[in-house]
């Protein structure tokens, strides 16, 4: 029972990461479209993506006219996902040992 619940939670968290990753890609692509951020989708993506990407804008300087903060944020998301996967692997082992 515990392993199945943990697996379901893990799948849900990983799906969340995939959805957020897609949202980031769309958010970045909208920057190439004139008025992309003024659309309803653009405003929604600003609300959910900019707080995360904004963290990296403070530390990653732009190169010319190009901001690399989005790329760094995107790759850092992968590292976060890998860390959460490790936490779940530890939890899986604990649940199997207990059960």
What is the value of pTM for the model shown? 0.86
Q: With DSSP H G I counted as helix, E B as strand and the rest as coil, what are the percentages for the chain, rounded to 5?
A: 80, 0, 15
Q: With H, G, I as helix, E, B as strand and everything else as coil, classify residue 99.
A: coil
Q: What pLDDT digit, counting tens, does each position of 4-51 carry?
A: 999 999 999 999 999 999 999 999 999 888 888 899 999 999 999 999
CA distances from 16 to 6, 10, 19, 45, 62 (A): 15, 10, 5, 15, 29
Over residues 47-86, the pLDDT tens digits come to 999 999 999 999 998 888 888 999 999 999 999 999 999 9
């Amino acid at each position: 029972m515990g392993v199945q619940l943990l697996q379901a939670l893990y799948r849900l968290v990983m799906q969340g990461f995939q959805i957020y990753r897609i949202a980031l890609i769309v958010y970045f692509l909208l920057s190439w479209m004139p008025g992309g951020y003024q659309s309803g989708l653009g405003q929604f993506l600003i609300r959910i993506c900019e707080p995360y990407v904004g963290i990296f804008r403070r530390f990653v300087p732009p190169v010319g006219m190009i901001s690399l903060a989005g790329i760094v944020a995107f790759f850092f998301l992968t590292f976060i996902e890998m860390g959460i996967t490790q936490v779940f692997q530890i939890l899986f082992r604990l649940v199997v040992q207990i059960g």
